[in-house]
Structure 1
Amino acid sequence: MVYEKIFTMTTGKQVKIVVRGYYSAGETTIEPFVEIWVKHRKELFFSPIGLELPRYGFESVGLNNMKDRAMHASGITDQQFEQVMTEFKHITTSSVLL
């Protein structure tokens, strides 16, 4: 499953958060992997500078460090990030996917 949300900042910059959900091995829960992309006015989306990879898993070591780095490099707030993750969780726990 893939969930995308685009935030437009006051400067005109857009930040796209892509959450890909995969079933964990032997589990019935969906593990999210997040990609963050940035777009300035007339450019294409690109991975923000300062991140080694555009995607990361929440079960990996250094989650807070990677999340903080992603938020700092892209300019999104913690509230915006949590909004996307809450929406993703609502979708993955709904009866639509069962």
Structure 2
Amino acid sequence: MPKKGDGQLKEHANNTCIDKLDSFFWRDSFEERRCLIPLTHFAKAEGPKGAKTRTWFSAPGEDGLLVAASIWRSSDEWGECYSMIMTKANESVAGA
């Protein structure tokens, strides 16, 4: 994660928990740079660190598409970076 107060992205981030959106690191992105990420599949990671497994979910239909609420920011190191906003899973995902 970034050094406190420098505002720079130091490590790759691929999701953001909804309860962290008001933090220093994500606040500006949430207020000013919201977006949708189109996807056809996503995975839910489960299990202890070092032994995680994934349950995959796919969009319905052969050419299905899902969208994820997201935020973005620019990084000198990686260019534009996107982060899916994560919240408590709904019943179809939580029960998988």
State the TM-score bracket (shorter-chain normalisation): under 0.3
More helix, by proportion: 1
TM-score normalized by structure 1?
A: 0.26
Larger-gyration structure (1/2): 2
More strand, by proportion: 2
